[in-house]
Amino acid sequence: MAVANAYDNLCHPNIVSEQKIPYIALSHLYKNCKELYDNDTLNLLVKFMGVYPPGTVVQLSNQMVGLVISVNAKAILYPNVLIYDPSVPRTQAPIIDLADKELKIVNAILPHKLPDKVKEYLNPRSRISYFFDSDS
């Protein structure tokens, strides 16, 4: 619980200017807090959250931009991503499983650095709720 709480506090601090995107928060815990938390617990958090947790805006190897919407527990580097495609309404935006494609994530993007039209389309949330399936 402590490591999950620490992750949530990094993503949703009391001081909004200190807020970290999910990818940065997870990376910070893994790189800087190993002395505070059991390594197995940190690894378990990464397994469930993925390297790119849901809510992370990413750039793909084909230059497309998308929003990670779910984790692939069998291939944590290849989540499911909702793709920004201005030619279709957001409600019909393509969702791709990176494990089935020859694409990879090359960068996590800070939402405030997105053009307004992309941010509006992808609609990255400041708060995200997570559900974990115990069968994963």
pLDDT of res. 108: 92
pLDDT digits (tens, 9 = 90+) for 71-117: 888 888 999 999 999 999 999 999 999 998 899 999 999 888 999 99
Reply yes or no on whether the pLDDT at 14 is more than 70.
Answer: yes
pLDDT of res. 50: 83
Reply yes or no on whether the pLDDT at 135 is more than 60.
Answer: no
Reply yes or no on whether the pLDDT at 131 is more than 70.
Answer: no
Residue 57's Cβ-count burial label (10 Å; 0-12, 13-18, 19+) is buried
Instruction: Say how far apart CA 80 and CA 72 lie, in whole Å.
Output: 7
Instruction: Say how far apart CA 96 and CA 105 lie, in whole Å.
Output: 12
Instruction: Say how far apart CA 53 and CA 67 lie, in whole Å.
Output: 10
Provide the pLDDT confidence category of residue 13 given band limits of 50, 70 and 90: confident
Most confident of 42-51, 79-88, 119-128: 79-88
pLDDT digits (tens, 9 = 90+) for 19-46: 888 888 888 998 998 889 988 988 888 8
Reply yes or no on whether the pLDDT at 133 is more than 80.
Answer: no
